[in-house]
Every structure is written in structure tokens, then in C-alpha cells.
Amino acid sequence: MSKHAKEMGVLKDHLGKHQLKFTRQRELILDAFLKQEHITAEEMYHQLARKDPHLGLATIYRTLNLFCEAGLAQARHFGTQTQYDNISHKGHHDHLICTGCGKIVEFENCDIERLQEEVASRNGFTIQTHRLELYGLCSRCRH
């Protein structure tokens, strides 16, 4: 039994409900995707080039978008590229970014996350993932 049996089930379920087919490529891409916390289509294209040199970039895009529809992934625009987040990955962290020197500090805050849930449910939303970035100056750059 595969390490990713649960997610594979979610995918097959989605495929079944939408008259879509289970293909070698979709399986390959899902396996690779689930090993990451987040990835871009281009990155995955290069990663998989060894396993299957003929796998097309368009197929990667299509498949990652399929994962979004199936609820396995979450697309996020980061700079000019689209990043696909692995929803099943635990331990999402947020960032403090120094606009002076570019230093990045990661943090996690349960209270903030709880309040986010509150805001979401008040608006009828169910959160899948989030992005929180605080921009400012670190102590060294403040002078």
C-alpha cells in the first residue's frame, strides 16, 4: 500500500465523479507532488524529466490544476509564478520579512490562526490554507 493512499483515494474519487480517467501521468505527478510542501510547474517539470523525459509541461499544468479542483492542492501567485501548495502538508508557517536587508524569519502563531478561522467562518468560508507576511525593519536595519 502506497504512502499516499489517502490522497490517491481523494484523486480517484474526484476522477470518478467527473468522468475523468486515471492515468500513469497523473499518478506520477501526484506522487511527486505529495513529497513537497509546495512546488511550481516548472520545478516539477525538471524533477520529473528523469523519470519520464517525454512528460509535457502542459500536462503538469493541467494536472496541478486538477489537484486544485480535487482539493489536494492550492494555487498561489508568488511573484510572477504560480506556486502549488500541498494542502495535506502540516506545519504551515508565516514570515517576517525585513525590507531593509531581506532577512526572513519564520514563525507560527496559534492565536492568529484561531482568529483567522473565526473571520472565515463569520463569512461562511472554510479555510484551506493562508498566507501571512509581515514586512518591516529588523532591529539592525532600524537605524
Closest CA to 94 of 78, 113, 76: 113
Which of 141, 139, 118, 142 is CA-nearest to residue 130?
118
Q: Which stretch binds DNA (CB under 7 A): 75-83, 92-100, 110-118, 119-127?
A: 75-83
Instruction: Detail the DSSP E strand segments found in 13-62.
Output: 38-40
* Least distance between a second copy and beta carbon 50 (Å): 31
Q: Is 36 in the site for DNA (CB under 7 A)?
A: no
Determine if 102 is a binding residue for DNA (CB under 7 A). no
State the binding partner of 137 from a second copy, DNA, none, CB within 5 to 8 A by kind: a second copy
Q: Does 13 bind DNA (CB under 7 A)?
A: no
* From the list DNA, a second copy, none, partner contacted by residue 26 (C-beta under 5 to 8 A by kind): DNA
If the CB atoms of residues 49 and 119 are measured against DNA, the closer one turns out to be 49
57 binds DNA (CB under 7 A): yes
Interface residues with DNA (CB under 7 A)? Answer: 15, 19-26, 40-42, 52, 54-59, 61-63, 65, 77, 80-82
